[in-house]
Amino acid sequence: MTETAISKPPLTIHLCAPRGFCAGVDRAIQIVELALAKYGSPVYVRHEIVHNKFVVDGLKAKGAVFVEELEEIPAADADRPVIFSAHGVPKSVPEDAESRRMFYLDATCPLVSKVHKEAEIHFRRGREILLIGHAGHPEVIGTMGQLPEGTVTLIETEDDARRFTPKSDKPLAYITQTTLSVDDTAGIVAVLQDRFPEIAAPHKEDICYATTNRQEAVKHVAPLVDAMIVVGAPNSSNSQRLREVAERAGCKTAVLIQRANDISWPDFEGIRTLGLTAGASAPETLVEEIINSFAGRFDVTVETVRTAEETISFNLPRELRDMISPAQAVSG
């Protein structure tokens, strides 16, 4: 008796490019892995090195120990390396590490460090500083923590920008979190510039290249598909912004998921086209996992939609550069 094959419905997956790991995330993960190779385990990491559970769990399995504060590190391990996450930390954190005589490596993304330096320059020039960003995000905490408490005012929305009242007659300047929605930020900046025409802007755009490129790819794909999946963690700012961008670009079903087993299949019934991207801290293996899961239910065709090329890379901390060959060396 011949078994009749059950045909699968066709599905075209429009795979956004660029997607996934950015240079800052790749560098941060490499710092943890090289530190483990050079110094052995345990290597301590303050906060998630990047916002992705799959990545964090993988590093834990290799011997990394994640803590939220330095005081959680046992006194007996005070000589073990401690790494600061890609999001950056307030100045008080390395000061605390030095007071405890800890050896630390800073995995702060160089583009976040650039914003830190901008804040310090504005402060030295006597400007009142506004930070456009999201309250409670580690990057915002780290940036505000570069200067004395109360020096930086957080602006989250256009309404905040309209309500803002300068504390003095000092000239104003604004900086931004690197992982914001490009369009939302532009709206906030427009309000500030309309109210304060002389406000100093960043010398170069603060929103990082990877955030911008991934949002542009989603804007291109989202109007063309029945549904959109963003692979990323719920506490990943850049991943959340990608989902919002997809919705605004006209995709009625836009969801953020971490793994294939998080897919709610009723959301994708009857679709013929699917957009797929990944936040800057989501590894490509999770994208492949999603594609394979859909291939189990659909006759899948994958088409890559590339809207930008990325060639940026960043130097490692000098303490770890002896761990890579000259051919592997990167420049920032």
Instruction: Assess contact for 244 and 181: CB atoms under 8 A.
Output: yes
Instruction: Assess contact for 144 and 90: CB atoms under 8 A.
Output: yes
Q: Which residues contact 156 (CB under 8 A, 6 or more apart)?
A: 132, 133, 134, 135
Instruction: Assess contact for 110 and 314: CB atoms under 8 A.
Output: yes
**3-state SS, residue 148:** coil
Peptide linkage before 283 cis (omega within 30 of 0)? no
User: At 122, which helix (H) or strand (E)?
Assistant: helix 110-124
Residue 48 falls in the annotated catalytic set? no
227: β partners:
253, 274
Nearest-angstrom CA–CA distance, 58 and 307:
31
Q: Which residues contact 180 (CB under 8 A, 6 or more apart)?
A: 132, 133, 134, 207, 211, 237, 241
Type of residue numbered 192: L
Q: Checking DSSP bridges between strand 43-46 and strand 64-67, what pairing results, if any?
A: parallel
Query: Of these residues, 118, 139, 205, 309, which one is catalytic?
Result: 139
Instruction: Assess contact for 51 and 233: CB atoms under 8 A.
Output: yes
Give me the active site residues, please: 139
